[in-house]
Structure 1
Amino acid sequence: MSRQNRLAFLLGLLSAFAPLSIDMYLSSLPEIGHELGGGIERAQLTLVAYFIGLGAGQLVHGPLADRLGRRRPLFIGLAIYIVASALCALATSMEALILLRLIQALAGCAGMVIARAVVRDVAHEIDPVKLMGRLMLVMGVAPILAPVLGGYLAAALGWRAIFWCLALIGALALGLCLLFLPETHPPAKRQRSSITAVMRSYGALITDRRFLSTALVSGLAMGGMFAYISGSPFVFISIYGIPPAQYGLYFGAGAVGFILVSQLGGRLATRFGRERVYTVSVAMIALAGSLLTLCVLLGAPFFAVYASIIFYIATLGIVAPVGSVLAITPFPHIAGTASALLGTVQFGMGAIAGTLVSTLHNGTALPMAMSLGILGVSAIVLRVLLTR
């Protein structure tokens, strides 16, 4: 395996912790709600807690990666993730599971932050959009396999086996990174920063028009995906009658679309320019969300609803990698901090979207559909306003 492909595999594996930790247990949410109490509405809060942890944890891991290098914070984060995953498998109450999911996310998001920072570190050797596309290819396998694997594990051994499996995956990733992931941020480039300097870096990013516009637009677009993740188990299984064992297949099809489209991002960006490709892709996200809302309002058959969702998720295959490159590339000296803040915005939007879907739960598909529609349209409106 070439160095470039090995690096893409490792970074993709690190970035896959979020979809693995989210998607593997989606079809088990009703069972978890029944066993631990509170129903699916309470079980959905374990998703919201994970989104919050992913957003908040990145604010810590980013500056640490810029100060200590990429490897050390990564190894500590993975070790805590392994322990938290095992404790999730042993949880005896919904409150405990919600808290442990928060800790699991706070630790596991180290991989996401550092993966994006490493892409920036090696940008002088490897085209960052193409590397990000290969990373998305590896990462995209997770949403395909995770719900299917999780469904089989839950059916054979119960939902707790899913978290034991996540602990094993964390241990595998830790071992591979110890052996094969190089340090891409040497001591000479590290930021020996105080807390004040870190806050100053965050302030500089927030006030930078290039970063802020891309982070907010990407956050809105990604928020739609998290609304889909939160709402789709109920919508697919309870409303449209998809058998729980088949839920993973329908969910995974969206990931296939994400993977296929993500491989076009580098070619399109090279030919037409990153900014233009990003804007067109965000516009397509808005169109997909609007079509989904219209389908649900008109009572369209499941095929039409599902096709609109696939359209949305597949288009994220361009929005996510190109948006990450546009946001982080201008800041090589604080790539970890920029990566962290970008992730915080994205998963902060995800937490809000997931909370709305849970709060507005009314026994229909409308809360999920309207969330995707509103977030998609808001993304393109903001993109147009901030790039004038």
Structure 2
Amino acid sequence: MTETPAKALSFPEFAALVSCVMAMTALGIDAMLPALPEIGRSLRVDNANHLQWVVAIFFFGHGLGQLIFGILSDWLGRKRMLLIGIGLFAVLMAATALVSTLPALLTLRLLQGVCAASASVVTRAVVRDLYSGAQMARVMSTSYVMFLAVPVLAPSLGQLILLVLPWPAIFLAIAVLAAAVCAWMWLRLPETHPPERRQRPNLRRLISVALFVLTQPVSVVYTLAVACMLSTMLAYVSLMPQIFHDVFAKPQWLAPVFAVCALGMAAGSVLNATLVEKLGVRRMSHTALVVFIIVTFIHMVWAFTGQETLISFVVLQGLTMTAMTLCTANFNALSMEPTGAVAGTAASLQGVFTAVVGSCLGGFVGQHWTGDIALLPLGACLCGALAFACILVGDRKRLFG
């Protein structure tokens, strides 16, 4: 493979390409959400809560895959591993159109998550190769603007496809889009990790990097915080079909409401990209975390007292997602800050932890669904409080610095 000089692309094209690659993960989850009830009927799933596994196992595989692709990207280069990961992701999405049982679907979803991990961990390493500190956080936030357009559009895309075609067509459409992004990468993506900086994977080095990361308090506490935020996202995504079917009895409103909440996430990214260099990464993220806890607590009390309506859900959940985005983008940047030349392996170790712990916590919340919408903000509030406790322990001296 020909090595392309780093920064061969203009910044707008680089941000657009990175965003489209990162969007593969969100597309693989969000586009099929409106189809979950139909998938359940088609595959004869008796317990609706079991359909949450279609989302949760993707996240779980995503965590495992980051260990593989992060390590290999430090050895074989970022571009090569992205092409392999997204290429296999497209093939596995196409294969989903052929499944006839829930176990088969879950197996493919696990493998899709593994391959989609390349879009997360390797692109983070690409950005870390070129940027650091507040500038890195700004680049990540800028790319998230396009990345977050996917949750706005993907459920509507899924619903539109369901109007004329059965649910397997959604997975075929994702396969086509992934193949197009793969072609764009092959033609235009620069290699940001030159051969002279690469290292072969070995167990001793993996243990060494793991020990290095574990001895960096900043890396540890913000990796834990990212896991907590991810668990709230997973619970939200998993429960949305059931919330609109069981509570509001308006499944047709899932995509529009999902889009409005996603716009809150996009607004959070724009706000972060605008202010992070002026106010500082910690001040932005820690203030946002306090807001997140307050909003989710208010939402929890509001729902427990039986006051929840579709309008209140949209407003409070939209504010929750905005605050979560301000936290997550900066927490990711802070967790990567001390990693330096081992960014790929460090990002993979952090990614494994955040995805596995996040999927387990989020799945635990989702499996307690009994029809009470208060479960969602309750789980989010507890996870936010846990994230804040971690930061107080490991980074309290610079809490708003």
TM bucket by the smaller chain?
Answer: over 0.9
**C-alpha separation in 2, matches of 1:91 and 1:363:** 29
- Structure 1 distance, partners of 2:286, 2:297, is 17
- Residue in structure 1 matched with residue 27 of structure 2 by the alignment: 20
**Residue 204 of structure 2 aligns with which residue?**
196
Count of matched residue pairs? 387
> What is residue 158 of structure 1 aligned with on the other side?
166
- Are 1:281 and 1:315, in contact at CA under 8 Å, matched by a contact in 2? yes
Equivalent-residue separation in structure 1 for 2:56 and 2:30 (angstroms): 13
Equivalent position to 2:221, from 192, 198, 213: 213
Secondary structure in structure 2 of the residue aligned to 1:182: coil
Distance in structure 1 (CA, Å) of the matches to 2:125 and 2:380: 29
Structure 2 partner of 1:223: 231
Give 1:143 deviation, angstroms: 0.3
> Which stretch shifts more, 271-280 or 103-112?
271-280
State whether residues 134 and 280 of structure 2, in contact with CA within 8 Å, keep that contact through their aligned partners in structure 1: no
* Aligned residue runs from structure 1 range 280-359, under 5 A: 280-302=287-309, 303-359=311-367
Q: RMSD across aligned C-alpha pairs, in angstroms?
A: 1.8
C-alpha separation in 2, matches of 1:72 and 1:129: 25
1:272 maps to a residue whose letter is: L
Give the alignment's TM-score, normalised by structure 1.
0.95
Partner of 1:11: 18
2:100 to 49, 73, 92: 92
Q: Confirm or deny: 8 A CA contact 1:227 1:350 kept in the other structure.
A: no
CA distance in 2, matches of 1:313, 1:344: 23
Q: Give the match for residue 38 of structure 2.
A: 31
2:256 is matched with: 249
Q: 2:369 aligned to 340, 349, 361, which one? A: 361
1:184-230 CA-to-partner distances (Å, cap 9, x unmatched) read: 00011112341221232122212321100111012112211111111
Aligned: 1:145 with 2:153: yes
Q: Give the 3-state SS of the residue equivalent to 1:90 in structure 2.
A: coil
TM-score (norm 2): 0.92
Letter in 2 for 1:347: A
Report how far residue 144 of structure 1 moved. Answer: 0.4
Gaps of 5+ in 2: 1-7, 397-401
**2:138·2:276 contact (CA, 8 Å) conserved in 1?**
no
Structure 2 residue 380 is matched with structure 1 residue 372? yes
Which residue, out of 161, 168, 184, partners 1:176? 184
1:51 paired to 2:59: yes
Matched with 2:399 is none
Choose from 144, 153, 167 the match for 1:136. 144
Partner of 2:329: helix, strand, or coil?
helix
Percent of aligned positions that are identical: 27
**Residue segments in structure 1 that go unaligned for 5+ positions in a row:** none
| 1:267 and 2:253 matched | no
Opposite residue 278 of structure 2, the aligned amino acid is R
Looking at structure 2, the residues matched to 134 and 38 of structure 1 have their Cα atoms a distance apart, in angstroms, of 40
Report the CA distance between 1:125 and its aligned residue. 12
* 2:243 equivalent to 1:235: yes
CA contact (8 A) 1:57 1:105 kept: yes
Distance 1:233 1:168 in 2: 25
SS of 1:360's partner is coil
